[in-house]
Chains A and B, each alone.
Chain A
Amino acid sequence: MPNAINIALIPLLPFAGFLLSGLFGRKYIRNFAGMLGTALILGSAILALYTAYDYFFVYGKVDGVYQQFVPLKITWLAFTKELSIDMGLVIDPISVMMLVVVTFVSLMVHIYSLGYLKGEERFATYYAYLGLFTFSMLGLVLASNIFQIYIFWELVGVSSFLLIGFYYDKPSAVAASKKAFIVTRFADLGFLIGILILSYFSGTLDFQELIARLTSPESNEAKAAAASTFLGASALTWGAALVFMGGAGKSAMFPLHIWLPDAMEGPTPVSALIHAATMVVAGVYLVARLFPVFALSTPAVLEMIGWVGAVSAIVAAVIACTQTDIKRVLAYSTMSQIGYMMFALGVSKYGGEAGLGYTASMFHLFTHAMFKALLFLGAGAVIHYVHSNEMKDMGGLRKKMPVTHFTFLIACLSIAGVPFLSGFYSKEEILLAAYHSNTAIYYIALVTSGLTAFYMFRLYFNIFWNKPYEAHGGHHGHGEGGLVMMLPLILLAIGAAGAGYIPFGELVSSDGKALESHFDIAFSAAPVLLGLTGIAVAAWMYLKENKKPENMASSLGGIYKAAYHKFYIDELYLFITKKVLFNLVGRTAAWFDRTIVDGLVNLTGNTTVLVAEGIKKFQSGKVQQYAIYFLAGVVLLAAFFVYVWR
C-alpha cells in the first residue's frame, strides 16, 4: 500500500525549501540556500524513486492491472455536499512516472545552478522560486481533483512567470514573463470553463468519480451531458475541448505557443526544467489524466487533439530550422516534440493494443525530459562560456568543451531518432501508433522527424564545428564550468542514452494492463533513413563555414522569411491585443466612464446647482417682493378656483 506520508513529503520538501529561502534567504542563508534546496530536492527524488519502485514492483499491480490509489484526500473547500475541492494524492502509473521525471530533472537543475548562478546577487531568491516551482509541479502531478490540478496549474504558471522574469531589470525578460503568463491565462480561462461544464454534468470534481460518471454510457450524467447541446456540439464535447484548451496553452500547442520562445529569457537551467522537461508537458499529462473521457466520450475532441499536436509538431520544426538563437531553436524543438506526445494521445484508443499511442506518448514524455533537459543544460554551458545566445558567436567549441560536446551529441542523436538511443524507441512507438490509426498524421510526423534531425544537427554543427572558435576572438580563459555543471550533464546523458530500454509498455498503458511492444525493422527503416538524411544535409551545410546556408535561404525566399519570422503569428496577436483590446475596447471603456457615466453624475450635480441658483432669487428678503408674490398667488388661486375648478 502506498505510504501517504512518504508521498506527501515529495512535494512538501521543496515547499519547505521555498519557504526557508524565500523568507530568510536574503539576509541569513544567502549562500547556503543553494545547498539547502538541493538537499531537499535530493530527498524528494529518493522518495520518488522509492515510491516508483514500490508501486511498480511491489503493490501497484493487482491481477495484472496497475491500480489507482488515493492514499490521502483532504477536503479543502466544500461548495456543496457533492462538489468540493479536495487536496489529494493520486498514485497511478503516470503520476508515479511524472514524480520521477520531475524530481530527477529538478535535482539536476538544482545541482547545475549551483555553478551556473554562482555569484548571482539573488541566488537565494532563485532557489526559492525553483522550490516553489517543483512543489507546484509535483502537486499538479499528484492531483486527485480537477480543481486541485487547476490550482497547481496556476501555481506552476506563476513560478514560471517569476523565473522567466528572474532578471527583472531586463525589459525583454519582463515582457516575456508577462506574455507567458497572460497567454497561458487565456488558455486557463478555457480550462476553467471546461471544469465548470464537466463538473456540472458529472456533479463532482473528483477525477475518479468524474471519469467514471462521464465514461459509462448508461449513467445519467453522461446522458445529460451528451443531450445538452450548444452551437452544434454536445456540452460534454465543449467541456472536454475547453479543458484541452488549458492543456494546449500550457504545452505551447499551436496557436497558443507564442509565449514559449520568449520564455527563453529566463536563466537557462530554468528553461531546462520548466520549459523543456516538466511544466510544458503538463498539458500532455492533463490529457492523459482525463484520457478515458476523451477517448470514450468525446472522440471528436481526441481527434482534434491529434491534429493540433501534428500541426504544432511540423510548424515548430520548420521554424526551428531558421532560428539563430540556440535557445529558441531548442524552444521550437520542444514545442515540436510535445506535438508528438499530443498527437500520440490523439491517435490512441482506450485499452488494449489500440492504446499504444497512450503508452508511446508517456514514453516519449519520459525520454524527451532526459534529452531535452540535457540539451538545454548543454546549451547553458555553451552560453556560459561564450556569453551569447547567437549561433554566429559560436563554432569550433568541441575541443574547448569536451564533456559538453559529447553529451550534447548524445542528446542530438537521441532526439534525431538514431537507433539504440532513447529517442529512437519512443518516437518509433509514436509513429507506429499513428501509422495504424491516422495515415495523414503519420506522414506529417515522418516529415517532422526528418526536419528534427536536420535542425538539431544544424545546431550541433554550428556550435561545435563550423568555424574555429578563435576565428571570432574567443579568449575566454575559464573552462567548461566545474563538476557541479558537468555532473548533471553526464547523468542526463546516461538517461538520454539508456531510457529507451525501460520496458515502458509493461508499466504505463491506457488501461493499466501490460502492453507488448515489438519493433519492426521494416517499419523503422523509413524514419531512420529520413533522420540520417537530415543529419547528412546538416553536415553538408554546416560542418564547415561556407555560403550554402545563405544561398539556400535566399533561394527559398518568402518561405524562409515567413518561417524566420515565425509565420507572423506574434504580429497577429500583437495586433489583436494592442490595437483591438487595448486601444479599441480599453480606451473606449475608460473614456466612456469618465465622459458619459461620470458626465451624467456631474450633470445631475450641476443642474441641481443651476436650479438652486435660479430659485434662490425668490428668497430675497425684500418685503415688497414677497407682497407681490403673495398677491399674484392669491389672484392665480382665485382665478383657478373660480374658472377652472368650480
Chain B
Amino acid sequence: MNLLVLIGAPLLTALAVLAARNRQQVRWISLAGSLVQLGLAVALLLAYRHERALQQTAQMLFEQQYPLFKSFNIGFHIGVDGISVAMILLTSFVVVAGVLVSWNVEKMTKEFYFLLLLLGLGAYGFFISLDLFVLFFFLEISVIPKYLLIGIWGSGKKEYSANKLALMLMGGSALILVGMLGLYFYAGNTFDILALSKSTIPGEIQHILFPLLFVGFGVFTALFPLHTWVPDGHSSAPTAGSMFLAGISMKLGGYGCLRIATYLLPEGAKEYATIIIVLSSIAILYGAFATMMQKDLKYINAYSSVSHVGFSLLGIGMLTQTAITGALMQMVSHGVMTALFFAVIGMIYDRTHTRMVADMGGLMKKLPFISTVFFLVGLCSLGLPGLSGFVAEMTVFVGSWENPDTFHRIATIAAAMSIVVTAVYILRAVGRTVMGPVTNPEHLELKDAAWNEKLAAILLLAGILAIGIAPGWLNDLLQPAAEEIMNRIAGK
C-alpha cells in the first residue's frame, strides 16, 4: 500500500472544501473525504496484518524515501509499524466523527472544515514520518489550526485559551526542535529515525537530550505539571476542536515521547524513568481528585484526560514491554473514548445550552440515545470490562507490576487507586445529568440525537467495543512494536 494516499486524501479533501460553493457542499465533501480516509486507514490495517501474516519481518512496512535536502541529509522518509497503524486508525475515526458533529456549524463553515481537515492531515503525516524533520513539520501543521479553531469558533474566554494553548505547545515544540538538532549532530548528521535508532549517542549527551524531547512532547500530552492548557483549551474549543485536541493532538505527544524520546535515547529514558513515573502517578491521582470537584462537563473530561493520559506516560516510564504496550493501548483507547465524551458533551450543550452539571438532571427521559452513549463512555472511562479503557489500564498495571521493587509497586498501587476515584466522579457526573428527576422543565422539550450525531457516536462506540471486547487484534498490532522498543532499551 502506498502511504502517500494517507496524506493525499486529506489534502485533496481540504482543497475540495476550499473550492466548494456552499455550506451544503462543504459538509458533504468533508464527510465523503473523511470516510475515504477511514476506508484507507482500515485498508492499511488489513494490508499491514496481511504483510505480517506473510512473515514480513522488517521493522517498518510500506517504506518510501525521497531526498528533500541532500546537503543536510534530510529526506522524506515514511513507513509504518503497528503503532503507526493503530494511531492512523484512531485519527481516521476521530476525523469522521468530528466532521459529523460539526454538521451545524454556521460561522465560516468552509474555513472551519478546512482547518479540521488540515489538522487531520498533520496527524496522518506525523504518524507515518520516519524523518524527524518531516515529523516536526507535520507536528506544527497540527498546532496552528487549533489556535484558530479555538480563537474563532470557541466560546468563553477563547482568546486567552487559544493563546495559552498555542504558546505552551509552541514552547514544547521549541524544546523538541533543540532536542532534534542535538540528535542530528551527535548521531552523525541524520534526522532519519531508523538510522538514529542504530546510532550510539554517548550516555551523558542522552541525559541532556532526553528531557528536552520528553518534556517537549510531554507538553502535548499533558505531562504534569505542564498540563494547564488542557482544561482551558478544551473548555473554550468548539466540540470538534476538543475532540481533535484530546483524541489526536495529545496522542501526537504520547507517540513522540515513546518513539522519539524513549526509543532513540534509551539511556536517557532509564535515567529519567523514576521522574516520569512520579510525575505520571501524580497526574493520574491528582487529575482524578481535581476532576471530582469540577462543575463543568468539559472541565470534568479535561481533567479526567489528564488523569487518563497519565497512564500512557506511566506505562512508558515503567519500561517493560507489557507496560509500553499498555501505554499505547491507552493512547488509542483514550483517543476514541475522549473524542466520544466531548462529542456527547457537545450534543448535550447544543440542546440544554449549559455544561453545568448542577443545571441538568433526568436527561435520560427525553434524550435516551445521548444519555445512553454518555453513560457508556463514562463506564469506559471508569474502566469497565468490555470497553476499551479496561484493557489498556490492566495492561499497564500488569506491565508495571513486572518491576519487582517497592518504588514501582507503590507507584502502580497509587495509579490503581484512581479506578475508585474515577468511579466517583464519573457516577457523580452521570448521576446528576442523565439520571435523577428532570430539574429544568424546559428540558422536557428536548429532541434526541439527529442522524449525524448518532452516526458519529455509533462509530466511536464501535471503536471502544472493538478494543474492549476483542483486544487481541490491537495487542497483536502493538506488542511487536513495543518489543522492538524494549529491545533497544535493554540494549539487545
Contact = CB atoms under 8 A, between A and B. Distances in A.
B391 A168 contact: no
A77 B289 contact: no
Interface string A580-604: 0110011101100100011011000
B168 interface: yes
Nearest to A189: B420
B293 A590 contact: yes
A185 B418 CA distance: 11
Contacts of A161: 427
Contacts of A585: 289
Contacts of A186: 420
A398 interface: no
Interface stretch (A28-36, A78-86, A298-306, A360-368): A78-86
A199 B431 CA distance: 35
Contacts of B290: 586, 589-590, 593
A76 B395 CA distance: 12
A4 interface: no
Interface residues of A, number: 51
Interface stretch (A53-61, A147-155, A492-500, A633-641): A147-155
Interface stretch (A174-182, A307-315, A334-342): A174-182
B172 to A, nearest CB: 13
Residue of B225, B362, B368, B399 with most partner-chain A CB within 10 A = B225
Interface stretch (B13-21, B200-208, B433-441): B433-441
Given A80-B322, A582-B293, A189 B435 contact: no
Contact of B437 (A147, A169, A200): A169
Interface residues of B, number: 59
A569 interface: no
Nearest to A205: B398
A85 B427 CA distance: 28
B188 interface: no
A169 B435 contact: yes
B384 A598 contact: no
Given A181-B423, A590-B290, A78 B475 contact: yes
A155 B303 CA distance: 26
A383 interface: no
Interface string B173-204: 00000000000000000000000000000000
A9 interface: no
A536 interface: no
Nearest to B434: A168
A267 B339 CA distance: 35
Interface in A63-99: 75-80, 83, 85
B416 A168 contact: no
A165 interface: yes
Given A76-B472, A178-B431, A155 B385 contact: yes
B399 A79 contact: yes
A200 B397 CA distance: 11
Given A171-B437, A196-B412, A589-B293, A75 B472 contact: yes
Contact of A185 (B325, B399, B404, B419): B419
Interface string B384-427: 11100011001101110110101000001100110110011001
22 contacts: A26-B368, A76-B472, A78-B475, A80-B322, A150-B385, A161-B427, A169-B365, A169-B435, A169-B437, A186-B420, A188-B419, A189-B417, A192-B397, A193-B416, A199-B401, A586-B290, A586-B292, A590-B294, A593-B303, A597-B227, A600-B225, A601-B228
Given A154-B390, A158-B384, A181-B423, 16 more contacts: A76-B472, A77-B395, A77-B475, A151-B385, A151-B386, A155-B385, A174-B436, A182-B423, A186-B420, A189-B420, A192-B397, A193-B416, A196-B397, A199-B398, A589-B289, A597-B228
Interface of A: 26, 75-80, 83, 85, 147, 150-152, 154-155, 158, 161, 165, 168-171, 174-175, 177-178, 181-182, 185-186, 188-189, 192-193, 196, 199-200, 230, 581-582, 585-587, 589-590, 593, 597-598, 600-601, 605
Closest 10 pairs between A and B when the two form their complex, measured CB to CB: A151-B385, A590-B293, A589-B289, A168-B435, A598-B228, A586-B292, A589-B290, A590-B290, A185-B423, A196-B401
